[in-house]
Amino acid sequence: MLVANRGEIAVRVIRACRTAGLQAVAVYSDADREARHVALADATAHIGPAPARESYLSIPRLLAAARETGCGAVHPGYGFLSENADFARAVEKAGMIWIGPPPEAMEAMGSKISAREKMRAAGVPVVPGALIEPSEEHREITSSGEEVGARGAARRVGSPHPATSGTFEEIPSSVLSLGFPVVVKASAGGGGKGMRIVRDAASFSEAMISCRREAVAAFGDGTVYVEKYLSSPRHIEVQVFGDTHGNVVALGERECSLQRRHQKVIEECPSSAVTPELRARLQSAACDAARAVGYVNAGTVEFLLEPSGRFYFLEMNTRLQVEHPVTEEAFGVDLVALQLRVAAGEPLPELPSAPSAHAIEARVYAEDPDAGFLPQAGRLLAWVEPSGPGVRVDSGVTAGGEVDVHYDPLLAKIVAKGRDREEARKRLAGALGETIALGVTTNLSWLKRLLEAAPVVRGELHTGLVETLSLPALPPPPDEVFEAAAWVLSRAASEPGGRPARGALSSPFEGRFRMGGA
Ligand code: ADP
């Protein structure tokens, strides 16, 4: 099987191949010759230079690699080409098995506008919103000469919220009827890109223009629409699975409300806000959503949940999700193994109907929380992963490896499970404190402080919470950090080129150092 990805997800899929008795082929760019996923695979294929467009995003190069290594299947991981229907079709046309949903289901959910329409038709509640067609643009956008046409009447999508006061002649009435704040979204958007929150009428026009611009630049499609911006909802998503025998099941929910700039940082399963009754309703809506598009394999239906218990469809991700391990740990299932079985035509086995543990995941990024979370790159001089009861680490890096500017700065996911939320939370905070990363600044300490913030401890979460918290200042590093750094520097001084060799630095740290996120 070709693993058409890199980093921790490639490592995760390679492990699943081993369990399934399949041989895994890793692909790598110039920047990844010494990467961990390459070292772990049974065979490897070089696919091009470092820029993803010329390697991990190149369909011809990935297909050539699969052919040359005699692969019979392709797993796309997540990110890169995982939601690209053209790639799925090309894999199937080449006579190989695509480990993912049918391309038609990917397309149906690929445009947020068409996904909303399909969900409404299937009786799944969607966030109230308004379509802004090119003929219905705001006057200022038209006069700015940007790719838009004449104005007309706007069409309403979803159930309207009452309008706020004021008259805003130039803004379509369907937008006004939602009431501010609203969010302008790119239909092709994803990964937090192509989204603008608009708090009042005066900023609507500017938000439309900049959202459109960003959408064209990032996705080559400037279609945007408007949604009611819900105040302080929770992000609750449901893991669904379909097989080729017509079965669709849901495996509980994940709470992903701890976000920074609409990007998830800590996820958990189950959600402390979801009762068995609400879980049943969420799962039923998610299965309806999946059935409406003929879904097969693993997918995630995302909802926003209001304190009242009302929830609305947000989008469906037609792939494995970064945060899938919390479902695996809470339900005791291997989702990637299930993906392989379903892709081989097997029916879904009997699956647990409720979680038997609580699991929380933290995303460890190479980024500097004290410098606006700026992504960091460079050589990881030391990397020591935590362990202990209930601790799982899905990582894509090794000591001495390079963190490259060309790729997502996700280094690892640290997951802890416990009998209940508090046990899982304490285990995760402990594991984050034990993790050692030297050479590249990470968000380890920030994650640990976030997990220990009072509302997080109480489980009182919402998607805007992180921005409102002022986390305690970093405590001064313990002496061990200085000792470790001195040791790294002395090793470096004795190496040719002044840099320690790959892998040379990990073992002496094992068990020697405990620090609050170096
Ligand atoms: P992306 O595809 O870029 O991930 P999503 O539509 O999934 O974007 O939204 C990502 C996050 O943005 C959500 O989890 C939520 O925090 C916030 N968000 C999106 N739409 C709304 C909305 N209508 N009201 C409130 N928050 C929203």
The rounded distance, in Å, linking the Cα atoms of 431 and 433 is 5
Q: Count of CB atoms within 10 A of residue 514's CB?
A: 14
Helix, strand, coil shares of the chain, percent, nearest 5, are 35, 25, 40
Omega before residue 270 within 30° of 0, cis = yes
pLDDT at 142 over 80: no
| Of 205 and 109, more confident | 109
Average pLDDT over residues 87-105: 98
Question: Which of the residue ranges 90-104, 195-209, 275-289, 488-502 would you say has the lowest mean pLDDT?
Answer: 488-502
What is the predicted pLDDT for the residue at 146? 38
Average pLDDT over residues 236-259: 98
Average pLDDT over residues 160-175: 52
**Residue list, ligand 1 pocket, CB within 6 Å:** 127, 183, 189-192, 195, 227-230, 233, 235, 259, 262, 302, 304, 314-315, 463
What is the predicted pLDDT for the residue at 172? 86
| Of 171 and 243, more confident | 243
Average pLDDT over residues 27-49: 97
Atom of ligand 1 nearest to the CA of 314: 6
Task: Pick from 182, 314, 315, 461 the residue to mutate for probing ligand 1's pocket: most ligand atoms within 8 Å of its CB.
Answer: 314
Of how many residues is the chain composed?
518
Over residues 403-436, the pLDDT tens digits come to 999 999 999 999 999 999 999 999 999 999 999 9
Atom of ligand 1 nearest to the CA of 185: 6
**Residue 358 amino acid letter:** H
Confidence of residue 133 (pLDDT cuts 50, 70, 90): low
What is the predicted pLDDT for the residue at 490? 77
pLDDT averaged over every residue in the chain? 89
Buried b (16+ CB within 10 A) or exposed e, 314-325: bbbbbbbbbbbb
- The structure tokens listed for 473 are 């200042």
Question: Which of the residue ranges 187-191, 245-249, 290-294 would you say has the lowest mean pLDDT?
Answer: 187-191
CA torsion sign, 29 to 33 to 38 to 44? positive
pLDDT at 206 over 60: yes
Percent of the chain at pLDDT > 90 equals 76
pLDDT at 391 over 50: yes
- CB-based contacts of 324: which residues, under 8 Å, 6+ apart? 239, 298, 335, 336
Location of structure tokens 């995303």: 363
Confidence of residue 445 (pLDDT cuts 50, 70, 90): very high
Residue whose CA lies nearest to ligand 1 atom number 2: 190
Task: Pick from 199, 262, 301, 461 the residue to mutate for probing ligand 1's pocket: most ligand atoms within 8 Å of its CB.
Answer: 262
DSSP state of 224: E
Confidence of residue 150 (pLDDT cuts 50, 70, 90): very low
The rounded distance, in Å, linking the Cα atoms of 206 and 460 is 34
Average pLDDT over residues 172-191: 92
Average pLDDT over residues 35-58: 97
Average pLDDT over residues 191-218: 90
What is the predicted pLDDT for the residue at 309? 95
pLDDT at 514 over 60: no
Q: What Å distances lie between residue 354 and 236, 256, 327, CA to CA?
A: 16, 18, 10
Report the candidate in 104, 72, 109, 68 with the shortest Cα–Cα distance to residue 89: 104
Report the candidate in 157, 169, 161 with the shortest Cα–Cα distance to residue 205: 169
| Of 499 and 89, more confident | 89
Confidence of residue 499 (pLDDT cuts 50, 70, 90): low
Confidence of residue 496 (pLDDT cuts 50, 70, 90): low
DSSP state of 126: B
Confidence of residue 487 (pLDDT cuts 50, 70, 90): confident
- Rg for the chain (alpha carbons), in Å? 23
Question: Which of the residue ranges 206-215, 269-278, 334-343 would you say has the lowest mean pLDDT?
Answer: 206-215
Q: Are 118 and 294 in contact (CB under 8 A)?
A: no
Atom of ligand 1 nearest to the CA of 302: 7
What is the predicted pLDDT for the residue at 315? 96
Average pLDDT over residues 76-88: 97
CA of 386 from ligand 1 middle (Å) equals: 32
Q: Count of CB atoms within 10 A of residue 501's CB?
A: 13
DSSP state of 150: -
